[in-house]
């Protein structure tokens, strides 16, 4: 896909799922801690990727689960 084309919602959803899977898997070096990313392993435990993925997944779920 060329860089200048807009990203589809489906591509964003798959990216969000990969981020969520990475954050809730286990770290190979210490199996009792969630893997996450380097930002999550820091001292303040805030991660912009995880925040975006959770917000995007919640947005998609709210659209999919609307009552008509």
Span 5-63, pLDDT tens digits: 788 888 999 999 988 888 777 666 665 566 667 667 665 667 888 889 999 999 998 98
Structure tokens at 11: 């591509």
pLDDT-derived band at 4, boundaries 50, 70, 90? confident
CB of 23 within 8 A of CB of 47? yes
Residue 49: what pLDDT? 86
The length of the chain is: 68
């Amino acid at each position: 896909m060329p860089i200048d084309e807009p990203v589809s919602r489906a591509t964003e959803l798959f990216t969000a799922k990969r981020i969520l899977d990475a954050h809730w898997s286990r770290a190979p070096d210490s199996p009792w801690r969630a893997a996450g990313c380097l930002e999550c392993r820091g001292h303040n435990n805030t991660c912009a990727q995880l925040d975006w993925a959770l917000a995007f997944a919640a947005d998609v779920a709210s659209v999919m689960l609307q009552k008509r």
